[in-house]
Amino acid sequence: MIYSFSWSQSTFTSGLLPRIRISSKLTNTIKWVNGIESRQLFTDNTKKNSFDYVLTDISSLASFKIGHNSSLNGGYLLRIEDNQVTHRTIQQYSFVYSYHAIRVGHRFVTDQTFSTTTLPKYRGRYRVTLEKPLNGDKINPNEFYIKLSNEYLFSYQDSKLDIELRVLPFLGYELNLKNKIEAGIDYRLSKFINSDPKNTLWFTINWFYTIQNPKNKK
């Protein structure tokens, strides 16, 4: 099989992607996670005037702890884009291992996207994440940490298969036992197999807030 890469025809877009995640521990094994994110486009090499609002995602997931380091999650996402509403169902399995001062997480996701204007889209995703404090062996309040993620995404829609690669380097800061902030970039490469590659760079800031007893942290 021969793949053609037309880098000279590639597109590049960049923008801002802020996210808020609020989680609440309902029982010792069940957690409710709600989130909202918005995308604003800054640059697009295919347009003269690039600044534009792109979309807003609102999500809600239930997380069920099934082991010491693993969980099953399921939920729903509502996307508002170009005055259109898109619905997405999500299923997820994740587990985390600790190696001294390094935490390595694995996440497997399937989702299904439905709207009234396009055919359904089905996706499979795998992400591996490495997290390490900059000082000591454990992330503590008022300390910085680094988080590096690599994700592979496969999508199928209208008899067409697409692959997307994502790289996400972040610098995090834990304010206290309930609040932490992460800032970094979310780089995405897609449509690079037998097509013109699409490059997307999001400048991202995430705020995580946990509603729970500090004794239950992590």
All residues at 6 or more sequence positions from 70 whose CB lies less than 8 Å from its CB, including other chains: 93, 94, 95, 96
> 63-111: per-residue pLDDT in tens?
999 988 999 999 999 999 988 999 999 999 999 999 889 999 999 999 9
Backbone φ, ψ for residue 216 (5° rounding): -90, 0
pTM above the 0.85 mark? yes
Each as own residue / partner, the long-range contacts of residues 39-46 (CB below 8 Å, 24 or more positions apart, any chain) are 39/15, 39/202, 40/15, 40/16, 41/13, 41/14, 41/15, 42/14, 42/15, 42/16, 43/12, 43/13, 43/14, 43/15, 44/11, 44/12, 44/13, 45/11, 45/12, 45/13, 46/11
Distance between CA atoms of 82 and 202, rounded to whole angstroms? Answer: 19
Judge contact between 15 and 54, C-beta under 8 A.
yes
Q: What is the pLDDT along the chain (218 residues), one digit of tens a residue?
A: 333 444 457 899 999 999 999 999 999 899 999 999 999 999 988 776 678 899 999 999 999 999 889 999 999 999 999 889 999 999 999 999 998 899 999 999 999 999 988 999 999 999 999 999 999 888 899 999 999 999 999 999 999 899 999 999 999 999 998 999 999 999 999 988 767 899 999 999 999 999 965 455 44
Among residues 127, 167, 174, 170, which one has the least CA distance to residue 146?
170
In the chain, what is the straight-line distance between the N-terminal and C-terminal CA atoms, in Å?
A: 46
Beta-carbon count within 10 A of 8 CB:
7
3-state secondary structure 24-58: EECCCCEEEEEEEEEEEEEEECCCCCCCEEEEEEE
Distance between CA atoms of 171 and 146, rounded to whole angstroms? Answer: 5
Judge contact between 61 and 91, C-beta under 8 A.
no
Domains by residue range for the chain, with CATH:
7-212 (2.40.128.140)
Radius of gyration of the chain measured on its C-alpha atoms? 19
The distance of Cα 20 from the centroid of its chain, to the nearest Å, equals 12
